[in-house]
Amino acid sequence: MKIWIPKESSAGERRVALVPANVAALSKRGLQIVVEAGAGAAAGYADEQYQAAGAVIEASREAGFAAASIVVQVQTAGQAPAQLESDLALLRSTQLLIGSMDPLGNPRFAAALAERGVTGVAMELIPRISRAQAMDVLSSMAMIAGYKAVLLAAEQSPRMFPMNMTAAGTLQPARVFVMGAGVAGLQACATARRLGAVVEAYDVRAAAREQILSVGAKPIELDLQTSSAEGSGGYAAAQGEAFLARQRELMGEVLAQQDVVITTAAVPGARSPILVTAEHVRNMKPGAVIVDLAAERGGNCELTRAGELVVEHGVTILGPLNVPSSVPFHASQMYGKNIENTLAHLISAEGALQLDFEDEIIAGTVVTHDGQVIHPRLRELLGLTIAQPSPGQGA
């Protein structure tokens, strides 16, 4: 069974789907790994390292796709359709495609895979259960995004983060406020604390209070009814407009005191909720910085412009895109380990593909199989009959 690792061709993408350490581990399972020449270069992994780990280097992208049983990418054509349309054309029936697909935001990609007879595994849909943690790409990449958000803020802020007592006077520490205490938010809290800032954080989930305290931040509590704030898998549930309006009203006083605000609230397949309004920004300190990690879905700040740095009312607002790609070495290491563990789950000890749809992980992540869209949520989004086909066990 051949696994093909093409070079990422989406604009600005510097990660690679598998690193040499993953190649070595998978080769021991009897799998042949073929890597496109230069695929890991932007992340700091040379072709020679892949060869030493047991991979074959292939210069032709078309040949790599043609010979593969499994194609593994960071960004598939589902996540960047305009740039990767040619990759979709290279896929063929009976192949397995694994990678990020933006399935809820772009369900038509699943329909396109089904038309070509490709079995698609969307890494964003890995269920948040204990035995799937080692495959959880969203958590891995969110951790990196939370870390890097703090560095971006520190670079733009006119203030130093730590307290400093000098002969020229005492420099007070920066105040950092993190909105959302998921993986990205908690890592942002921890990083800002390590840099010496005074850190506060807010999350609608009551359970987040202990998590915020565990990373050295102070939880901010608002007078809101949050009994329905936690959805499946421990993620925050989407809230109605009345709740969000009341939240924004109460948040104004908190935001006005901050030097740095990092927002992390994203809803898969939907626009990000507005947490910081233009009025909030107008009342913030001159020189304050907002880093909006939800910029790719419209942003948590009303004034965010995706991929841009803007200054409004003296406040700098960053809307970074694909933040994990800015730390490509370690992002690839983590993504590759998630993929390695996923492949180990999908492939038997004898080297055969096994798709047991009674397994929660497989049922939750496989979006297409045997020429059909089989994921219930995607079938709903595509307007197909809700009753999904019943795939048998095995590929």
The domain spans of the chain are 2-135+327-381, 145-321
DSSP characters over 213-227 = HHTTPEEP--S---T
pLDDT digits over 95-142, tens only? Answer: 999 999 999 999 999 999 999 999 999 999 999 999 999 999 999 999
For residue 70 the two structure tokens come to 């499994």
Q: Are 361 and 345 in contact (CB under 8 A)?
A: yes
Q: Which residues pair with 166 in a beta bridge?
A: 169
Q: pLDDT truncated to tens, each residue of the chain (395 aa)?
A: 999 999 999 989 999 999 999 999 999 999 999 999 999 999 999 999 999 999 999 999 999 999 999 999 999 999 888 777 899 999 999 999 999 999 999 999 999 999 999 999 999 999 999 999 999 999 999 999 999 999 999 999 999 999 999 999 999 999 999 999 999 999 999 999 999 999 999 998 888 999 999 999 999 988 766 554 454 554 455 566 777 777 778 889 899 999 999 999 988 878 999 999 999 999 999 999 999 999 999 999 999 999 999 999 999 999 999 999 999 999 999 999 999 999 999 998 878 889 999 999 999 999 999 999 999 999 999 999 765 656 654 44
Q: Considering the domain delimited by 2-135+327-381, tell me its CATH architecture.
A: 3-Layer(aba) Sandwich (3.40)
User: Among residues 77, 105, 108, which one has the least CA distance to residue 91?
Assistant: 77
Is residue 136 exposed (0-12), middle (13-18) or buried (19+ Cβ within 10 Å)? buried
Q: Determine how β-strand 309-312 pairs with β-strand 289-292.
A: unpaired
For residue 221 the two structure tokens come to 């509590």
CATH number (3.20.20.70, 3.40.50.300, 3.40.30.160, 3.40.50.720) of 145-321 reads 3.40.50.720
What CA–CA distance (Å, rounded) separates 260 from 160? 11
Specify the pTM: 0.91
What CA–CA distance (Å, rounded) separates 219 from 74? 35
- Do 2-135+327-381 and 145-321 share a fold? yes
Catalytically active residues are: 128, 133, 136, 139, 235
β-sheet with 96-100: strand ranges across: 56-58, 32-36, 2-5, 70-75, 96-100, 119-122, 366-369, 372-373
Instruction: Tell me which residue has tokens 């009203």.
Output: 249
For residue 199 the two structure tokens come to 């850190």
Which spans in the chain are helix H?
Answer: 20-27, 47-53, 61-67, 81-90, 108-116, 137-156, 183-194, 208-214, 241-255, 278-282, 328-346, 360-365, 376-381
